[in-house]
Chain A
Amino acid sequence: MSSHDSHNENAHAHKPSYGIYILIWVALLILTGLTVAVAGINFGNLTVITALTVASVKSYLVLEYFMHLKHEKKMFWLFVYTSLFFLGVSLILLFADYTFLEGN
């Protein structure tokens, strides 16, 4: 099988320590706190961007560490980021409608 066999041995060979997981967990808590804290501040047009940036950083940490993407083969990376790319393009095209609607 072409790319069949060599995967699992490498995939979990570099498991991070529990300390890293705890650190990431603390970071996620801080970022959640940040989201709540900035929710009351009016950034105008930047409000959504701020919230999405914090959420993206959190998602990145979860994907990379808790879902082990950091330690997987690049193929998994490609799969995840292809999906995210499509999501991004879909959002951009969606906002091509809403942003340019008359009255906006």
Chain B
Amino acid sequence: MASSTANVNVSFFDYQGGRKGILGWILSVDHKRIGILYLISMMIFFAVGVTFGFLMRLELIAPDRTIMDPQTYNSIFTLHGVIMIFLFIIPGLPAVFGNFFLPIMIGAADVAFPRLNLLSWWLFVIGGLLAITSIIMPGGAPDTGWTFYIPYSVRTSTNVIPALMAAFILGFSSILTGLNFVVTVHRLRAKGMTFFRLPLFIWALYSTAWIQVLATPIIGITLLLVTFERLFSVGIFDPSLGGDPVLYQHLFWIYSHPAVYIMIIPAMGVISEVIPVFARRTIFGYKFIAFSSVGIALFGSLVWAHHMFTVGMSGVAMIVFSVLTFLVAIPSAVKVFNWVSTLYKGSIVVEPPLYYALAFIFLFSIGGFTGLIQGALSVNLHIHDTSFIVAHFHYVMFGGTGFGIFTAMHYWWPKMFGRMYNKKVSIVGFWTLFVGFNVLYFPMFVMGWLGMPRRYYDYLPEYHIYHLISTIGSWILIIGLLIMFINLLKALKSGEKVTKENYWGGETLEWKCPTPPYVFNFEFTPEVHAGPYEYKQNDESEKKVEEEVVQ
């Protein structure tokens, strides 16, 4: 915190620090500015990822060649995966909204290591640019799929090493963010902010941060080993050199499955914030939701090999991992039941963030249930590597985390920027997006069940109708995205100005600081005397009703 408070009680947008203009942003250690830097860079990468997805779907609108050759198609689905996973979904909520709101929601002035925080953004940008550069470098864009499976990733002549290095650098960015969050939650909570008074978004970020710190180094070292394998033919994974390709898959998924929870847990945290605010009541089962985040982080780290049921693992391992997969559904279901129970008998106010939050619950539930279907060993053999799995993880990752990010945007936009978007347009955008999403991804469940393999460039005529519907869905979805983003961006310029602290009537600390927040968030360091969802305005209105009844 600065020694002088003479000029820091201004909005973080207006604060004139040592550096001005763009340097005042890209060299700023203010967690809010870093959060916005992440938001901007992430949205650019997201736009690239969406474009690749759109092109893939366009190619698949009819059998045979439509707009590209098979090699280009392989590169495009690889880059779509790498960009969406490593540059959008994984950093999405922790890096943008975690950075912006974690310190505010625990009553701190910043994260524990602000410079490390800035470094993590720089690493993110460098890693992202390296991933994009791998497309245009001589040798051709990588074509391995985002999983870089051995032995193909050792043998292909495309730019696998730059893509591996990009993922390696992005991993470091993620570790630093996680480390920062763990330390911040332990060391910088305001007076009275006990662990059981932490908002559930913070519990989610805290659990996620642990996974980031513990699991990411494993993918880092694994990707380095693949690089060594390519450069020096060491023989760790490549079977022709005496290596074990299944070991690669184990090491890859030891990180990459928990990474799924790095993606989804913060989104669940956002939903846990939004539901009680718009139901105008205390969240149902606070401790259960808090511990379920930890439970998902814990069990989620132990289920990685359910991605590998067809590689020839031992029967014992398959049974163990199948059972663990079913167990991880329990804490996820705890959350869903508690959100729905919170809505029950609440005084529900239907605003745009609630639309997105409800869509999250609906889509995530479909994604979660279809995950359980695949967790069963016998069924997994039937649908493994089909478009059923593509549909499943898009329902979880996009329908879940993606909609979680959109929920967070609509919920916190007025607080972050002091401007309000057009609510009617955002609801139109929502419905377009929601319809487009389901039209795009649901046919994949059907054709996957019927046997359509994933990642295939061409297909048999009987799958045409499903691909056609799916591609039309992608157009509707993109229109929805455009409506939503244009509406949000337009708000920055000409949206209604917001100055009141508590726009939605929330009880967590971000609604008690100025809009937009001051440089060090609060004029005075807050003291916390109650839990995060104790709705005083409800109590007051109830008191009034009681008084009237008594009179």
Which chain A residues have a beta carbon within 8 Å of chain B's beta carbons? 1-4, 75, 79, 82-83, 86, 89-90, 93-94, 96-102
Interfacial residues of chain B within 278-321, with CB under 8 A of chain A in the complex: 301-302, 305, 313-317, 320-321
The segment from B9-17, B188-196, B439-447 that touches chain A is B188-196
Cα A101 to Cα B313 with chains together (Å) = 7
Does any Cβ of A come within 8 Å of B464's Cβ? no
Contact partner of B320 (CB less than 8 A), chosen from A82, A93, A98, A101, is A93
Q: Are A86 and B189 in contact (CB under 8 A)?
A: no
Q: State the Cβ distance, B110 to closest chain A Cβ, in Å.
A: 13
Contact B317 A97 (CB under 8 A): yes
Please determine whether B188 and A100 come into contact, CB atoms closer than 8 angstroms. no
13 contacts between A and B (CB under 8 A): A2-B191, A2-B194, A3-B186, A4-B187, A83-B214, A89-B302, A90-B218, A93-B302, A97-B250, A97-B314, A99-B316, A100-B314, A100-B316
Q: How far is the CA of A38 from the CA of B468 in the complex (A)?
A: 66
A86-B301, A90-B254 given; A96·B193 CB < 8 A: no
Chain B CB within 10 A, most for which of A83, A90, A97, A99: A97
Most buried by B among A2, A75, A96: A2
- Least Cβ–Cβ distance between B382 and chain A, in angstroms: 22
Q: Is the CB of A90 within 8 A of B301?
A: yes
Q: In the bound complex, do residue A75 and residue B186 qualify as a contact, i.e. CB atoms below 8 Å apart?
A: yes
The number of chain B residues with a CB under 8 A from chain A is: 26
Q: Name B's A-contacting residues (CB within 8 A).
A: 182, 186-191, 193-194, 210, 213-214, 218, 246, 250, 254, 301-302, 305, 313-317, 320-321
Contacts of A94 in B (CB 8 A): 250, 254
16 additional A-B residue pairs with CB within 8 Å, beyond A93-B321, A99-B314:
A2-B194, A3-B186, A4-B188, A4-B189, A82-B210, A86-B214, A90-B302, A93-B317, A94-B254, A96-B316, A96-B320, A97-B246, A97-B317, A98-B314, A101-B313, A101-B314
Q: For residue B188, which residues in chain A have a CB less than 8 angstroms away from its CB? A: 1, 4
> For residue B313, which residues in chain A have a CB less than 8 angstroms away from its CB?
97, 101
CB distance from B430 to the nearest CB of A (A): 39
CA distance A97 to B214 in the complex (A): 22
In the complex formed, the residue of A with least CB distance to B189 is A2
Count the A-B residue pairs with Cβ separation under 8 angstroms: how many? Answer: 55
| A48 → chain B closest CB, angstroms | 15
How far does the alpha carbon of A100 sit from the alpha carbon of B246 in the complex, in Å?
14
Known contacts A86-B214, A93-B320, A94-B250: does B187 contact A100 (CB below 8 Å)?
Answer: no
State whether A100 and B317 are in contact (beta carbons under 8 Å apart), knowing that A75-B186, A83-B214 are contacts in the complex.
yes
The 3 closest A-B pairs by CB, nearest first: A100-B314, A97-B317, A100-B316
CA distance A20 to B213 in the complex (A): 32
CB within 8 A of A3: which of B187, B317, B321? B187
> In the complex, A100→B305 CA distance in Å?
15
CA distance A4 to B187 in the complex (A): 5
Q: Closest B residue to A2 by CB, please name it.
A: B189
Measured CA separation A11–B246 after assembly (Å): 45
What distance in Å separates the Cβ of A71 from its nearest Cβ neighbour in chain B? 19
Quote the shortest CB–CB distance from B255 to chain A (angstroms).
10
The answer to whether residues A2 and B305 also contact, given A83-B214, A100-B317 and a CB cut-off of 8 A, is no
| Chain B nearest CB, measured from A30 CB (Å) | 29
A90 to B, closest residue via Cβ: B254
* A75 contact set on B, CB distance < 8 A: 186
User: In whole angstroms, what is the CA distance A94 to B304 when docked?
Assistant: 10
Smallest beta-carbon distance A57→chain B, Å: 23
- Alpha-carbon gap, A4 to B191, bound state (A): 10
Q: Which residues in B have their C-beta under 8 angstroms from that of A99?
A: 314, 316
- The answer to whether B214 touches A96, judged by C-beta atoms less than 8 angstroms apart, is no
What's the nearest-Cβ distance from chain B to residue A97, in Å? 4
Q: Given the complex, which residues of B lie within 8 Å of A1, measured CB to CB?
A: 187-191
Alpha-carbon distance A83/B214, docked complex (angstroms):
6
Give complex CA distance A67, B302 in Å: 29
Residues of B within 8 A of A97 (CB): 246, 250, 305, 313-314, 316-317
Task: Using A1-B191, A3-B187, A4-B187 as known contacts, say yes or no to A93 and B314 having CB atoms under 8 A apart.
Answer: no
